[in-house]
A and B are shown apart, each in its own frame.
Chain A
Amino acid sequence: MISAWPGPDGDEYAVVFDRSRERRILVLPALFDEANKLRHFTVETMRRLDEAGFDSMLPDLPGCNESLAPLEEQTLLMWRDAAGAAANHFAATHALAIRGGALCAPAELPTWRYAPATGASILRAMLRARVLASKEAGLEETREELLARGKESGLELAGYRLGAAMIRELDKAEPAGGAALANIAQAELGGAGLWLRAEPDYDPAQADALATRLVTDENP
């Protein structure tokens, strides 16, 4: 269930449900704080895909989760290359990009995008969290000033040390890459997106709904 794949900076881990079946889905996780909030949901969706006869693999992006690569040296472009390398290693036939994962989906794979997020919206929430935390600590910062500084020299946001290149990319990034099979809106799963939750939470009905949506898609 835990496997390794050759990332650009050495081996990275991946959670895999691999029985050499025909349909093999590379799962690109949500980014940063949302990755934690959606991890349980993501793995449970993969478990359901496994039961339905689909293989799936969830790689750690370099600098994330168990990866030893420094996060602040990563860029979205590097993550897209890394996702491509993982897709090759696992011989993925499709991709499922979750939220900000759609910002680094490899170009070659037909991709489902679940609740895709723009880089700007992810950055906005992280900048706001930093401003609020600083304010509590008695420090006045503004989002505009932080963004300008981040684009020059990088920034720590919500506990994530992001490099200048990553912040510049996020500010402009739109879900792209992959021949989009479909954008799957949160409303199709029922209930509110689990990335909104203040505390990580899990909803089996949503994992059922997403897996069923992929399994019953007419043109995968």
Chain B
Amino acid sequence: MPSEPVAVGEYSETDLALRQVLQDVLGLSSDRTANFTAETGLFGYLPELDSMAVAGLLTEIEDRLDIVIEDDEVDGEMLETYGSLLGFVTAKRDGG
């Protein structure tokens, strides 16, 4: 079933980059990540996200979005849903 077409400009640059990282780390299709909403569950819902995978995910986010994530900023809440992760990364990029 074809996914809904997504208008260019609907997502922020950070949002698009974050979807791409998740696509690459989780091996998902672009259709799957395009369907992520703020409520889509990540850590705790995706059994493949063990500590090594989360470490790889955060390191890749740092490299691609040019931010530094401190270990004490990482907790279950930040990683719980797509929306919480996007909110964290967006705040970081805005100088948080």
Interface residues of B in 47-69 (CB under 8 A from A): 48-60
Across the interface, do A197 and B27 meet the contact criterion of CB distance under 8 Å?
Answer: yes
Across the interface, do B56 and A198 meet the contact criterion of CB distance under 8 Å?
Answer: yes
Docked CA distance A94–B72 (Å): 45
Q: Which one of A125, A196, A199 lies within 8 Å of B48 (CB-CB)?
A: A199
Range of interface residues on chain B? 20 to 34
Across the interface, do B51 and A192 meet the contact criterion of CB distance under 8 Å?
Answer: no
Q: How many residues of A contact B (CB 8 A)?
A: 24
Residue of B nearest to A133 (CB): B51
Across the interface, do A197 and B25 meet the contact criterion of CB distance under 8 Å?
Answer: yes
C-beta contact mask, A158-173 vs B, less than 8 Å → 1, else 0? 1000000000000000
Closest Cβ–Cβ distance, residue A111 to chain B (whole Å): 24
Supply 6 A–B pairs (Cβ within 8 Å), ascending by A. Answer: A121-B59, A125-B52, A132-B54, A133-B51, A158-B55, A192-B23
If A129-B51, A135-B71 are given as contacts, then 13 extra A-B residue pairs at C-beta distance below 8 Å, sorted by A number, are: A125-B52, A126-B52, A128-B55, A131-B71, A132-B71, A133-B51, A135-B75, A158-B55, A192-B23, A197-B24, A198-B27, A198-B53, A198-B57
Q: Which A residues are closer than 8 A to B by beta carbons?
A: 33, 121, 124-126, 128-133, 135-136, 142-143, 158, 192-193, 195-199, 201
